[in-house]
A and B are shown apart, each in its own frame.
Chain A
Amino acid sequence: MYNKTVMDHFRNPRNVGVIEDADGVGEVGNPLCGDMMTIYLKIKKDHIADIKFQTFGCGSAIAVSSMLTEIAKGKSVAEAKRITNKDVAQALEGLPKNKLHCSNLGADALQMALKNYEDRKCGIVRPELKRKDEHEHTHGEKCYCPYCDVELDEGTQFCEACQSDLAEAH
């Protein structure tokens, strides 16, 4: 199901852990979707000096987190802001389509951590985000029919291509 690069990052995830005195923290996902990621950043001289992650999720969610930290490490804040979920999936040489939809949240978590870093720098303290126990699409990726893999609009209840009822899948 997963390619060798994905399995390598899943089996030997890079940069797992917590940075206790992090300069920025980003958290995305919810248990309903099945995946949750937290990214911790240490910024020195406007560059990502250290990055760590924690992930609750499937094989691709762990691989995505690991690959994201590899891509982001050492980048300037400006460069890191341009990292997208697509970049991560490409670096992993592809993910199954239904996983692109639900597990590819790494860059979102990074962007939230960078925002958190900048907020802190400006002295803005935001209350800790409450996790919503509902399905939330923050990552702007297309979703795909879990049965026949065709691209669907978000919230579609019925797949015309394979005539599947998707009420349960959403």
Chain B
Amino acid sequence: MKSINLDHISANPLLPEVKEAMIEAIQKDYHNPSSQHKAGEEAAEVLEKARASVARLINCAEPREIVFTSGGTEAVNHAVKGVAMANADKGRHIVTSNIEHNAVIRSLRRLKSAGFKVTSLSVDANGRVNPEDVADAITDETVLVSIMHSNNETGTIQPIEEIGRITREKKVVLHTDAVDSVGVVPIDVQRLGVDLVSFASNPFYGPTGVGGLYIRRGTKVFPLLDGGVQENNKRAGTENLIGIIGMGEAAELARRDMEPRLAHLEKLKGLFLRELPNYIDEYIINTYLDHSLPNLISISVKYIEGESVMLMLDDDDIAVSTRSACATGSLRASHVLLSLGLSHADAQGTLVISFGIDNTEEDILTFLRSLQNVVATLRNISPLYQKVAKA
């Protein structure tokens, strides 16, 4: 049987054109883009071509504002720590939300131990930050607001544009972790009014290990890595040119095909949501469907545990992700799900289903049939279901 990937949030396949561009890059044996001889200049030319492609993807008019990184995590660390350190003389207060990725949470934890104060805002029942809360949290000491664009566990999109208006008015730097949004949904750095945007290449079918950080000109940010003067002195270290070339190609394709991709993903998401109640009952949809990514839905299936569901679906060659504590290695329910007000037991039954452009409608229906059996099997074993059935 053909295996079905409904875990695109963990890994997207490379597009054939991206693979081709990278293979060609390997065969060309590019020199160091920082070298001043002809071979170096040839490498610098392709590096800048990729930078321009990435810049266009997020409507950034000045490609110099793009810094290539080793991925989303480095970009986030660079943005959060870099802004905090560069502006510590102005103040030591940062505003964020309760549902950020660990890259943000742990960067902030590190800053807290260095004397920074952090205000972490709660989200509403839909999983969204209230922009007014951001306005209220900003003080004279605030040097950074960091709110993610879309949540990696629920797919819910945050009101960044509204928050951007507030931070611009109050003249506070705004960073958004848009790792799961850039290349998936239209992102326009001008319209959003953000100063920094973190992103990665794999969510738009480029290679892992490459990402970038948009830094609006004039934003004071320290480099995360000190060394040479690469990337306009913002990120030391010889560039990962092969990866960057792959990301550049993926960015071109994402921009060109954004509309048909969105239409395809929305169709799959719509089918899934329409058909789901015909296959299972008693579940919670954690995604705020009015404002969410087209490719991700989080559901919590009552009375059963996510890792078991994931393993049984895997036996049917279907890959999904779970946010149950057992499976994440942290042995605690996800902070994002608890922030939404889910009980621990319900959080344990959480599945993250993420579609890709390679999925078909038949994939969704095959998955639903398999899920129906798995849920029935596990509820039959579950003492929680037994109790509810008795009552």
Chain A residues in contact with chain B, CB under 8 A? 2, 7, 10-11, 13, 16, 18, 27, 31-38, 54-59, 61-62, 98-99, 101-103, 133, 146-147, 165, 168-170
Task: Give complex CA distance A2, B326 in Å.
Answer: 13
B348 at the binding interface (Cβ < 8 Å): yes
- Having A31-B344, A33-B331, one finds 11 other A-B pairs with CB under 8 Å, namely A11-B315, A31-B343, A32-B333, A34-B324, A35-B305, A54-B381, A58-B308, A98-B331, A102-B326, A102-B331, A133-B344
B325 at the binding interface (Cβ < 8 Å): yes
Interface string of B328-359 (1 = CB under 8 A from A): 01111101000000011100100000000000
A-B contacts, 7 of them at CB < 8 A, read: A37-B383, A55-B381, A55-B382, A57-B308, A61-B305, A101-B331, A170-B332
**What is the predominant secondary structure among interface residues of chain A facing chain B?**
mixed
Task: Give complex CA distance A142, B169 in Å.
Answer: 54
CB nearest neighbor in A for B311: A59
Are A169 and B330 in touch, CB under 8 angstroms? yes
**Which of A34, A99, A165, A170 interacts with B305 by CB under 8 Å?**
A34
Task: Give complex CA distance A83, B382 in Å.
Answer: 23
CB nearest neighbor in A for B380: A16
B153 at the binding interface (Cβ < 8 Å): no
Which chain A residues border B344 with CB–CB below 8 Å?
Answer: 31-32, 133
Which chain B residues border A103 with CB–CB below 8 Å?
Answer: 326
* Known contacts A54-B386, A56-B304, A57-B305, A62 near B329 by CB under 8 Å: no
B109 at the binding interface (Cβ < 8 Å): yes
Are B383 and A10 in touch, CB under 8 angstroms? no
Which chain B residues border A56 with CB–CB below 8 Å?
Answer: 303-305, 345, 348, 381-384
Which chain B residues border A133 with CB–CB below 8 Å?
Answer: 344
Are B331 and A31 in touch, CB under 8 angstroms? no
State the Cβ distance, B358 to closest chain A Cβ, in Å: 26
**Which of B308, B327, B384 interacts with A36 by CB under 8 Å?**
B384
Closest 10 CB pairs of A and B: A31-B345, A58-B326, A58-B307, A54-B383, A31-B344, A38-B383, A146-B329, A34-B326, A56-B382, A34-B325
Q: Interface size class for chain B?
A: 20 to 34
Q: Which of B362-381 contact A (CB under 8 A)?
A: 380-381
State the Cβ distance, A115 to closest chain B Cβ, in Å: 18
Are A57 and B326 in touch, CB under 8 angstroms? yes
Which chain A residues border B335 with CB–CB below 8 Å?
Answer: 168
State the Cβ distance, A100 to closest chain B Cβ, in Å: 12
Task: Give complex CA distance A58, B309 in Å.
Answer: 8
Which chain A residues border B106 with CB–CB below 8 Å?
Answer: 165
Which chain B residues border A59 with CB–CB below 8 Å?
Answer: 307-308, 311
Task: Give complex CA distance A87, B292 in Å.
Answer: 48
State the Cβ distance, B333 to closest chain A Cβ, in Å: 8
State the Cβ distance, A28 to closest chain B Cβ, in Å: 11
Are A146 and B331 in touch, CB under 8 angstroms? yes
Task: Give complex CA distance A101, B307 in Å.
Answer: 16
* Known contacts A58-B326, A98-B329, A36 near B343 by CB under 8 Å: no
State the Cβ distance, B301 to closest chain A Cβ, in Å: 12
Which chain B residues border A99 with CB–CB below 8 Å?
Answer: 326
State the Cβ distance, A27 to closest chain B Cβ, in Å: 7
